[in-house]
Amino acid sequence: MQVDIREDGGIVFIEPVGDIDGKTASEFHDAVLNLIKPKARLVLNLERVAFMSSVGLRSMLLIHRKAESKDAKIVLAAVNKDILGSMSATGFLAFFVVGDSVQDAISRLG
């Protein structure tokens, strides 16, 4: 799994590339968890993630918990409808703000 990271204007942009499943979830969440600092502002762009398994959903929960503990804000961007459906069915969607695009996610960071 590739996880592209850049910072611009005080916002950390994270863009994983590929499926987030049992083989890649630990690499994904380790990369994201390391970027969550106190009061951080992050956009997690899931545009290039086609599939997220239950292990990937668990990674999202770990990311949410760490962000909450650090008073950091994460907004998801460009999440496909299948992943949104899985997150909604498991209740995980309630933990995140979701933007339709990266621009929308930036505006939702507040």
pLDDT in tens, 13-36: 999 999 999 999 999 999 999 999
**One-letter identity of residue 25:** A
Structure tokens at 47: 């545009």
13-38 b/e with 16+ CB inside 10 Å = b? Answer: bbbbebbbeeebbebbbebbeebbee
Q: pTM of the prediction?
A: 0.95
Helix, strand, coil share (%) of the chain residues, nearest 5? 40, 25, 30
Residues in the chain predicted with pLDDT less than 50, given as ranges, are none
Q: Please report the pLDDT score of residue 110 as a whole number.
A: 80
CATH code at position 102: 3.30.750.24
Number of domains in the chain: 1
Domain range for 104: 2-108
Neighbours of 69 (CB within 10 A): 10
Contact in structure between 75 and 98 (CB atoms under 8 Å) = yes
As a whole number of Å, the end-to-end CA separation of the chain is 30
